[in-house]
Amino acid sequence: MAKTHVTTIINGEPVEFLCEPQQTLLDVLRDELNLTGSKEGCSSGDCGACTVIVDGNIVCACLMLGAEAEGRNITTVEGIAEGDKLHPVQQKFLEHAALQCGFCTPGFIVAAKALLDHNLNPTEEETRYWLAGNLCRCTGYDKIIRAVLDAAAVMRGENPPSPAA
Amino acid sequence: MPNLSFAAPTSVDEAVKILAGASGMAKMLAGGTDLLVQLRSGRTRPELIVDTKRIPGLIGIREESDRFVIGASTPGVMIYENEALTRAWPGIVEGMDLIGSEQIQGRASLAGNLCNASPAADSVPALIAARATAVIAGPSGRREAPVEAIVTGPGQTSLQKGEFIVEFHVPKPKPHQSDAYLRFIPRTEMDIAVVGCGVNVTLDGNGVCTDARVVLGAVAPTQVIAEEAAAALIGHKLDNDTLSKLDAAAGRACKPISDKRGTIEYRIKVAGVLARRAAAIAFERAAQR
């Protein structure tokens, strides 16, 4: 069986890999490229734990073949922080304790970052709808939504009080 | 899948040639939001997957003088972000936008939703109601077919071996013409239609309906064009008597099954209610233009 040779950009870096036709982008990220931040939850596009950004749109990496990545521009959770500096969404997830087991967190971080790339001033309702494709069985979502809205405020240059204060 | 192969042709002709050379089952890949799930579960075992998205024109929306041309593999996000299409056919855009999460919208397409051939496909009723057509490429050239001619039963289409949809043609609305799509699910998001209903109406200057199509989803093996329901609208304003006749006719057009999403009786009842509500929205929109 012929493997496909793929050249793509992941987190700003050119990457080459070989993949089999049925390997998903998630399989490639985790098993070939050791980018294990994207999680495998349902493998059917329901849970959002494998959310990545492809050419500006969020997609489930489990619903995209690795071979389709040729020439695309992909951002995974590993590419959200700038070096040691956490993205405001990541920082606010920490401050709000917007996670318990943490399995869904990478997907939420990527999806929320993409939301704020599109819209720096989302309403709570817009935020909840945007994140409806990310499932969390621990938090009840409330802390996640507050973290994202606070991150938006930080990115708008406001200074929301830290929830711990 | 011991012998699966993958191709990403860069022209329609190349795709046709690759499909003609395939000995076993070939599957076209648009957004993959149905195909990859079926691959993984083993429900489909193709020997060839052909990615359509590198073929020029398969992704994108073009506005021509009398119609919109929507590439078959255009993802939902490009459809709901297209202001001209949203203005012209809010119902078509609503139907597509109801499918799945933002992640699914980043990939899912009209051709994929149509050719997956689910009776509950949300993007299909409003397309049929707008009298959209599909342009199909295949070994004997191109042909054009009304969207309602594609799905023949659950999971079944009229596409012949080696054929695939290249684009959809949607006529531009006439004066005082508009549409709406509503679906019923027991929650607000992320679910499969219990019933869906697309209504497309044209009014005269006095608000009297001169042309209509009412299309129901999830109430029969394929989408249903409810001719009698459309006839109940034509020649009338949307008064209570017309709404009652529409409601009853929509119910009579249903041939549903009972399943975990709803019983036969429930689906028939909901079809009538959705037809009323979608017609009210379509009439209001049509009157405003």
Q: Is A132 in contact with B102 (Cβ distance < 8 A)? A: yes
Cβ atoms of B79 and B36 closer than 8 Å: no
Q: Determine the length of chain A.
A: 165
- CATH, range B5-51: 3.30.43
pLDDT confidence of A163, banded at 50, 70, 90?
confident
Residue A110 Cα, gap to closest chain B Cα (Å): 11
The DSSP bridge pattern shows strands B195-203 and B209-217 to be: antiparallel
What ipTM, to 2 d.p.? 0.96
Q: Using alpha carbons only, what angle is made at residue A11 by residues A6 and A14, rounded to the nearest 5 degrees? A: 40
| Sequence ranges of the domains in chain A | 4-79, 88-155
As a whole number of angstroms, the distance between CA A73 and CA A158 comes to 31
Cβ atoms of B134 and B165 closer than 8 Å: yes
CB nearest to B6's CB, from A21, A111, A132 = A21
CATH topology for B61-171?
A: 3.30.465
In chain B, which stretches have pLDDT less than 70? 1-2
As a whole number of angstroms, the distance between CA A125 and CA A123 comes to 5
Name the CATH architecture for the domain at B177-287.
2-Layer Sandwich (3.30)
Tell me the chain A residues in contact with residue B53 when contact means C-beta distances shorter than 8 Å: 68
Give tens-digit pLDDT for A68-77: 999 999 999 9
* pLDDT score for B209: 98
* pLDDT score for A165: 53
Q: Phi, psi at residue B72, to the nearest 5°?
A: -55, -35
- A33, B133, B225, B266 from B171: Cα distances, Å: 47, 9, 18, 34
Token pair in block for residue A40: 């495998």
Give tens-digit pLDDT for A7-22: 999 999 999 999 999 9
- CATH, range A4-79: 3.10.20.30
A88-155 CATH, one of 1.10.150.120, 3.50.50.60, 1.25.40.80, 3.40.50.620: 1.10.150.120
CATH code 3.30.390.50 region(s) in chain B: 177-287
* pLDDT score for B2: 59
CB nearest to A57's CB, from B4, B37, B77 = B77
pLDDT confidence of A164, banded at 50, 70, 90?
low
* pLDDT score for B3: 83
Domain A4-79 and domain A88-155, same fold? Reply is no
Q: Is A65 in contact with B51 (Cβ distance < 8 A)? A: yes
Q: Which of residues 52-91 of B touch A (CB under 8 A)?
A: 53, 75, 77
